[in-house]
Amino acid sequence: MRLLILYVRNNFLGEYKVKNAVIYIHGKYGTAEEGEYYKKFFKEADVIGFEYTSEYPWNFQKEFSTFFDDICTKYKKISIIANSIGAYFTMLSLTNKNIEKAFFISPIVDMEKLITDMMFLENITEEELYKKKEIKTSFGEILSWKYLTFVRKNPIEWSVPTYILYGEKDNMTSYETILNFTNKSKANLTIMKGGEHWFHTDEQIKFLDNWIKNIA
């Protein structure tokens, strides 16, 4: 009788989880509401924006893990749309999770290089950052020794089927960096000539729309 109950229960849960979900993870200064825009491309799935408050990856991992595990109990398959640093946070948090596919828009794929590039621009040495722990840059970013060491101790390992949209003039991630990541992860890379890190002009939005429409 107990085995029969478990069988019926599992069958019920399997039938219940018939719908797919697409989780949207915004970039810095973004919002979960941005996910609403992508609903027109995923009409057969629920598009769910993840509103996070974490500034640091170790906090995001905890925050997102709880959210993601809850989503997994309700949906059959889960895909990801992530923007900028949201893509880095996602890859760091979902390495061993079951993801159908990922759509990355202007992703940060090498956080260590981004941090060390900012240090170079500000003429900050590792020894100086180690001693001061945190240093505010002239462009408003705060460089953190704890952040840098965390990034080095937690390298990205990503094997989820991934589609990347990259702007030719992205000032956060170089072409060499995105190409290295693409080759390593076997992702599908689309480059917009003249595109920027932030896709915001009419031309850029139209390019983004056509990109995701063709692969969603």
pLDDT digits (tens, 9 = 90+) for 53-95: 899 999 999 999 999 999 999 999 999 999 999 999 999 999 8
Residues 83 and 166 in one domain: yes
Residues 40 and 135 in one domain: no
pLDDT digits (tens, 9 = 90+) for 151-181: 999 999 999 999 999 999 999 999 999 999 9
pLDDT of residue 17: 75
R_g over Cα of the chain: 19
Residues 207 and 178 in one domain: yes
Q: Which residues constitute the domain of residue 164?
A: 2-109+157-215
Residues 57 and 128 in one domain: no
The set of residues, in sequence order, having a beta carbon less than 8 Å from that of 83 and lying 6+ positions away, is 24, 25, 26, 27, 30, 34, 104, 105, 106, 107
Residues 141 and 172 in one domain: no
* CATH number of the domain residue 40 falls in: 3.40.50.1820
Residues 121 and 45 in one domain: no
pLDDT of residue 16: 59
Q: How many domains does the chain have?
A: 2
Residues 132 and 58 in one domain: no
Residues 36 and 70 in one domain: yes
The pTM of the full predicted model, rounded to 2 decimals, is 0.90
pLDDT of residue 95: 84
The identity of residue 29, as a single letter, is Y
Residues 65 and 142 in one domain: no
